[in-house]
Structure 1
């Protein structure tokens, strides 16, 4: 460290000595904060002990700063570009494989060369702020002349202001929030205020007696953020897109950075001394953003959580219909799920018949997929309920319940009540599905035998059906988990299409089709459009869920991977079909194992799909949840207090 300081003199201009000096501060392990702090303190003591070294280092750093452009560092690092999500994604992927070339013109390139490890932020941020400020005070002693950082800060403020104005006039925003077309846009007004503020600042630097007042500018930035909040709130009702989400994130980041830079250049804050801590905080933010500027994960984290929030919000609203409040609604849920069980019984029959065709793998996958897809869509149209479709919807509703109005406290008793309603509603739906799927499949197989004179399935096929739901000697539960993942994905797909139907105004678009109006009439076309807008997500979710179920086995065969699905209702129907195929000559042990198998399959279906959906819903809302033990205790308390109501609900809605 001392040798590096001694090598710096008035002729040193390259970046290499600074790179070497930072290398001496960097610990071998990023998490070794004690060593990093000791290194910073050692450097501070060396400079205090030799003021000449401190002066040479200060002059060297100022020469580096004077020969490089600063504005891009303050206005671009940590702020998304205006290129759009997919362009930015492509750029980051390309630069991860082959980083851009360094130059000597921009301060950003110097940061790339000095802090070339992504882990640098870990040890730099771990060093106490007091030690960094002490090092800064030792090196950057008061020196006559202009502030070398100030021109770059002012230029960055101007750049960010123009960027906010440009993004704020994007048609994706103005068309979505039409109020900006009726009144003067705050994004334009803030730019005028920034230009006026910078003009006054330049006159002040030139010696004119100017009173700088940034308060009105900050008010305009508040109004810009208010418009962004209104657009996001409206997007929860009308839907959103990745492009719109990207613009909102870009605006928020630009305005936030603009506020920080205005605080740093404000004369009053500089006199108060708060700018030193603010400058250090901004420096740490830039270092962290610099280390992550080519990471794809952060790009998705900044954007997709907003889109996921809209997707899960739509699923949450749908989930309201999957929660029974009292015994009357529980009975309605049982009847609804019982209707679905009847349809599933016939779907199981079609699948068995398609399997006897011995078609080519892709043709068979298509037939299976259409059987599942059209069957599930028919169940939805008839207002029936498939139990395993509930978790992906109700998990979003629970996540919404976790988000308290104040954002800090969670009412565990109310949450326990909601989860109790979800559990008993899903249990009722599973029992309703099984209660009719079993006898329907048995009746179909028995009628087939009476009409045709031979069984629907052979004895070998019947044993194969029972073997498929064996939870011990086959990967049936693993396949059930795969089906749970498919259910979770179907829930996301439902939310996505609900979001798209709202954002693109499907109802109006369908109502405007002249050919359809001529065929169905105006009123029927309008009703069709409204139905599609309100149910597109559910229909498409069911369709793609059927595709996933129908192709999973074929995909596993083609790829040589253990991929297949097990669904509780179909497993129960296959069990009934196998009983008839074996003329009911089965041991009680096999019956117990089979019944245990399809019940266990149902549990895995529900747990996997519900767990994944709840995890995504919590991430989308950015809700940390650390009350699992207290929540379980609250549920057991409700069970002990009213065990009957816990499982079948109260007589009236509480």
Structure 2
């Protein structure tokens, strides 16, 4: 019985799909027009007609022109049959008179929630829940009729003659007095939303040196109400025109105020919630301008109708996609993170021979400290800790080591790429002409050379440091730091034929992600004015003195990015693999400096004759591949995000790639050794 019911449901679903997608000829559609039918039947007929207009599968080229061609054919058919034309006109007129349009004018294509998260949840749930019935809502009908991006193109491409014939089907606009009233109601709603957002503390406090009553938002509602009261009175036409001009001026001042807030965000930090509110205001302003133009014109021109509907369809399609909403509102945050990382990245680019060797020595310091990280990690492995505590102590080990490298003024090579990619992307904005592209190529050469210097410094220091510590440990304890089992596992873990390549790519992703968190932390620190709060907090000044509070704020001003990046990277390398293993995903981290140190520590245990074994040779090759993937993956991810945040065109990227390849062909050694040595 249950099986039969399931089969019946499946058949009903298939039949529904067939009915929805089956092709119906225009003759059959026009023969079925019934102006006296119930509203639901008339709406279904309109849907069939638009579906016929939009169908393009029988045509091979220029699909965006097909609907316009079909509309012309439709009018040609109706011109030959005045009776059919009259029926179609009556059906459209009756239907439009029964539909309410307020939501169509002020909700379609506009965010309905007050926050980004709420909007995302709303869009996701709308994908899951059954579609709303059209009922008496013009907004729901328009969303159903025009569901694709291609509809925007053909709606805007309709010529004046076609638009004239199309609008004639709806009769005179005096037949729809509710449309004008609905537009005015929509204006009231839109203006009230602009005022509410603009006068909110998040935006109001970020418009410098202006009191609430001096803000343009403050007067918008009153000015609109006065205009709506006077615009239909012939005796007050001059006053209505003046009020309209003042209203338009206030709206333009509102746009300027929004630009001021963006300048403040660019300087002091970004909040996605605040950016979402600003984007809502911009959308509401755009819709307000469009409606005011229609209301103030006194008549609805054909072109305005077509473009207005097309704009609403386009905005609705943008708002329907949850990831599109998130992407649009996260762009400014991404830009801020890129800029914060780019400032850090400038310190990682050696521009001359002196800076190059300074980078090598700085990286050697980082390599020596990393040697101790290797031994602590190995020691933790001998304690028989459960996975949670092993991950927790590994996180402390990594994070502590990375922080010591930062505070000691040393360098860890793999932390460079994400920051230097952002620094590079910052320069892309001005690299349009040939001179700019050449200058950018020079920067890429410097960047590549510096990263190679940093890797060389890390590895050339970590290997002897590990061997020295190993010898001291053997002298004190009578055995090497690594057991034979641990040594064999180390070699196997970096073997090029094993999973080390996948682990290296995963680690490159973690390195990039830590740089994102570092940039976000710097933005959060600036946005919340933590430095100001520390220096002006009575409790902090009492405990560590006023001078101590200033020093703490100064320390965090210059160190918050590195602290956040290092702690997050320590967590990613130490705890994330444990979490993934717990859920059944066997991913591990393979960091080039740490892996090199571990491989060096395994040599004394296995004997120096192991250096010539195939396993060790494969492991050494694996180290090279791990280093390349660590650097390249994190760099490419950071550069990709930076490209998108800075909106770099494909053409400019192609010019840059071509210039870099040309330079490498002409001067390959410049990518590896200081310029003064070439």
Tell me the distance in 2 between the aligned counterparts of 1:413 and 1:48.
64
- Judging changes above 3 Å, is the alpha-carbon distance between structure 1 residues 522 and 182 closer, same or farther for their aligned structure 2 residues? same
Counterparts in 2 of 1:132 and 1:438: CA distance versus 1, 3 Å: farther
Corresponding position of 1:71: 102
1:519-559 per-position Cα deviation (integer Å, ceiling 9, x unaligned):
42211221112222332232122111111111243234323
| Residue 411 to residue 59, structure 1, CA distance change in 2 (3 Å) | farther
1:624 matched residue in structure 2: 649
| 2:211 pairs with 1:181 | yes
Q: Which residue of 2 aligns with 1:297?
A: 323
Question: Which SS does the other structure have where 1:286 is aligned?
Answer: helix
1:364-383 equivalences under 5 Å are: 364-383=390-409
Partner of 2:266 in structure 1?
Answer: 236
Conservation of the 8 A alpha-carbon contact between 1:40 and 1:135? no
Matches of 1:103 and 1:295 in 2, distance apart?
21
Q: Which SS does the other structure have where 1:8 is aligned?
A: coil
| Residues in 1 aligned to 2:211 and 2:335: alpha-carbon distance in whole angstroms | 27
Q: Distance in 2 between matches of 1:603 and 1:355?
A: 27
For 1:21, the equivalent position in structure 2 comes to 49
Superposed displacement of residue 161, structure 1: 1.9
Task: Determine if contact 1:338/1:433 at 8 Å carries over to the other structure.
Answer: yes
Match of 2:598 among 564, 567, 574: 574
Checking the alignment, whether the CA contact within 8 Å between 1:365 and 1:554 is kept in structure 2 is: yes
Matching residue of 1:517: 541
Q: Distance in 1 between matches of 2:624 and 2:559?
A: 30
Q: 1:547-606: CA deviations, max 9, x gaps?
A: 111124323432332311111101111121111222312243545433322121111001
Q: Which runs of 5+ in 1 are unaligned?
A: none
Counterparts of residues 2-41 of structure 1 (less than 5 Å): 2-14=27-39, 15-27=43-55, 29=57, 33=63, 36-41=67-72
Cα offset, 1:650, TM superposition: 4.1
Q: Which residue of 1 aligns with 2:516?
A: 492
CA distance in structure 2 between the partners assigned to 1:126 and 1:388 by the alignment: 51
1:259 to 2:284 alignment:
no
Which residue is equivalent to 1:47?
A: 78
Measured after TM superposition, the shift of residue 184 of structure 1 is 1.0
* Mapped contact 1:2–1:46 kept (Cα < 8 A): no
For residues 229-255 of structure 1, give each alpha carbon's deviation from its aligned partner in whole angstroms, at most 9, with x where no partner exists: 221122122112122111111111111
Aligned counterparts of 2:194 and 2:556: Cα–Cα separation in 1: 37
Please state whether the residue corresponding to 2:376 is helix, strand or coil.
helix
Determine the C-alpha separation between the residues in 2 that align with 1:626 and 1:314. 26
**2:454 paired with 1:429:** yes
2:438 corresponds in structure 1 to 413
Q: 1:109 corresponds to which residue?
A: 140
Please say if 1:457 is aligned against 2:482.
yes
Q: 1:141 Cα deviation (Å)?
A: 5.5
Normalising by structure 2, we get a TM-score of 0.87
1-structure distance, mates of 2:211, 2:542: 36
Tell me how far 1:289 sits from its aligned partner. Answer: 3.4
Indicate the residue corresponding to 1:312 in structure 2. Answer: 338
What is aligned with 1:130?
A: 158
**Does structure 1 conserve the Cα–Cα contact (< 8 Å) formed by 2:212 and 2:218?**
no
2:115 matched to 1:90? Answer: no
Q: Give, in whole Å, the separation in 2 of the partners of 1:458 and 1:52.
A: 96
Q: CA deviation at 1:215?
A: 4.6
CA distance in 1, matches of 2:296, 2:273: 34
SS at match of 1:329: helix
Deviation of residue 210 (structure 1)?
6.6
Identify if the C-alpha distance between structure 1 residues 123 and 360 changes in structure 2 by more than 3 Å, giving closer, same or farther.
same
Counterparts of 1:446 and 1:186, CA distance in 2: 75
In structure 2, the gaps of 5 or more residues are 1-25
Shift of 1:136: 5.2
- 1:352 is displaced (CA, Å) by 0.5
Normalization by structure 1: what TM-score?
0.90
* Conservation of the 8 A alpha-carbon contact between 2:115 and 2:276: yes
Which sits farther off after the overlay, 407-416 or 419-428?
A: 407-416
Whole-Å Cα distance in 2 between the matches of residues 469 and 173 of structure 1?
53
